[in-house]
Structure 1
Amino acid sequence: MTPITEVEGRRLALSNLEKVIYPATGTTKGELLHYYAITAEPLLAHLRDRPLSFLRYPDGPDGQRFFTKNPPPGTPSWVRVAEVPRSSRERGEQVVVANLAGLIWAANLVVEFHTPQWRVEEPARADRMVFDLDPGAPATVVDCCEVALWLRGRLGADGLAAYAKTSGSKGLHLLVPLEPTPSAEVSAYAKSLAVEAEAELGGLVVHRMARALRPGKVFVDHSQNAAAKTTATPYTLRARPAPTVSTPVTWEEIEECDSPDELVFELDDIAVRLERYGDLLAPLFDPEHAGGLP
């Protein structure tokens, strides 16, 4: 029988709780749902009012994976669904997770959470800018840290503050709060900084996506600022061999990182970090930290 759980007055059928999702660590679906329940407060803050894209991996990271922006079949009537532009001519519907019940319903599908840099009430007007720092082997996250520190200083020169999280995979994400600004303008500015980083950090950075350019370098991916693109949401689990989490980190941790292992965090690490630091990305929600683009 599928157990029925009540969350905030909503009855949820939570299936296959004993199923091992991450064979490398033996992590079960029940443990995955428990992680999302105890991390709900900061995660919901980052999901709020943003249309959700799902990377589903119901049989674990080695099983079938599929990415969808459409509301999954069987989406309950009480889950918020918003109409959003998909292109200049096309509109579609996407889930917007608004509460704990919606979060646990979505987590029960076994998903990575991905969100754009804008909110549903202002499509294609970004309130944050993102840089995805992706190392090409043999480069590692240690090299990403060097690039992140350069970008932090460069953004600071333009009056912009940057906050960092691990991607939950191999690299780092930098997030920059903004006054709502057209996504096209944010994209152009982010690309200009990526080009500048490539010129300044000789041999370490590449700003173009071509795989042939990337071995031993850090790809500064500015493309996720495009209105149609999404980024892994802070605190989401990733479909990786181990249950790694896209985890906010301090600038001290970035400055002191000299081994890739130092910036790998799994679901069991997050409660302790939240107790110690709170949400390190909370300044993203503070209008006083959000300057306009220069």
Structure 2
Amino acid sequence: MTPKKVSVEVEGRQLALSNLDKNLYPEFTKGEVIDYYVKIAPVMLPHLTNRPATRIRYPDGIDGGSFFEKNAPAHTPDWIRTQTLPTPGSSKGRTELDFIVIDDLPTLVWCANMAALELHVPQWKVGPRGAVHSPDLMVFDLDPGAPASIAEACEVAHKLRELLADDGLESYPKTSGKKGLHLYVPIKENDRTSEYAKECAERLAASHKDLVVSRMEKRLRKGKIFVDWSQNNPAKTTVAPYSLRAARSPSASTPVTWEELEKSSPGDLTFSPDEVLERVDEHGDLLAPLLDNPQRLP
């Protein structure tokens, strides 16, 4: 039986890992969660670096409830990078919080040990002295309204890809890890991403009224794909590439190819942690262009 606590060294940092045998999913332990994050770190960390992280923690597993954590808890090790950032409109009345920035493997392992199954980040970065940069990513969340499914989301993703290409922008898809898709566009830093993304969603909805909706009201979404442009609001976040998601079986938000979206049936677009690692061995990081291919927003 695994001891309650195990002391390990990760890149020169000492971490006390606890309850590694505890099931965070019905058949997936905290030890397996940490192992996944260690193995996926080489491709995941570049998408987390310099982005303040919101963690969704499941200390008693997916059946035991969860909570969002933006602020660094009091027991955060002093070697973890934190950044004090304004939080206007906070539901708790806080004007600023100390965010954790996951720049290295020890921090990622520490978060996993805290049962932070899901890691969410904004579309902008912070500089080394805390300066908030303009967004360098634009994202669209394609969310199916039942009875529509990820199959219809794939269809809409291709239409949105064409619309963006007409504006000179290349886009890159990943699964949300649940029922939808995310479409990313790497851009040169720009404060107009939310405005432009909204305009794109409205254009797509106008030309495909039977399939696409761009407005937030849930009553409008039945049988359609909601193209959610609102995650470009600087106050919002999107689940990070390769992050686990809370579901009955562990799955991850997984980069995919356009060919896969064209050929796949819905069941083909759910990936277990092992499958994600196998895909990285085969394809490398399909979202690498987000890191080094900034495009000018029209």
Q: Which of residues 270, 278, 288 in structure 2 aligns to 1:282?
A: 288
Deviates more, 1:62-71 or 1:168-177: 62-71
Equivalent in the alignment of 1:118: 124
1:140 Cα deviation from its structure 2 partner: 0.6
Q: Determine whether 1:3 maps to 2:14.
A: no
Is this contact kept in 2: 1:160–1:290, CA < 8 A? no
1:292: which partner in 2? 296
1:107 paired to 2:108: no
**Equivalent residue number for residue 270 of structure 2:** 264
1:82 lines up with 2:83 in the alignment? yes
1:195 CA displacement:
0.7
Q: Kindly state the Cα deviation for residue 124 of structure 1 after the two structures are TM-superposed.
A: 5.6
Alignment-derived partner of residue 189 in structure 1: 196
Superposition deviation, residue 63 in structure 1: 1.5
Q: Which residue of 2 aligns with 1:158?
A: 167
- 2: CA distance between counterparts of 1:210 and 1:143? 19
Report if the CA contact (8 A) 2:85-2:97 is conserved.
yes
Distance (whole Å) between structure 2 residues aligned to residue 120 and residue 38 of structure 1: 26
1:230 to 234, 237, 260: 237
Residues 227 and 156 of structure 1: is their aligned pair in 2 closer, same or farther, counting only changes over 3 Å? same
Structure 2 unmatched runs, 5+: none
The whole-number CA distance in structure 1 between the counterparts of 2:134 and 2:88 is 14
Using the size of structure 2 for normalisation, the TM-score is 0.93
Superposed CA offset, 1:226-260 (max 9, x none): 00000000000011111010000000001112x21
Aligned length: 287
- The CA distance in 2 between the partners of 1:203 and 1:193, in whole Å, is 17
DSSP 3-state at the match of 2:186: strand
Question: Cα distance, 1:34 vs. partner?
Answer: 0.5
Alignment of 1:149 onto 2:161 = no
Distance 1:80 1:95 in 2: 6
Q: What's the % identity of the aligned pairs?
A: 51
TM-superposed deviation, 1:73: 3.3
Residue aligned with 2:138, SS: strand
CA distance in 2, matches of 1:178, 1:190: 12
Distance 2:61 2:213 in 1: 32
8 Å contact 2:133–2:189 — kept in the other structure? no
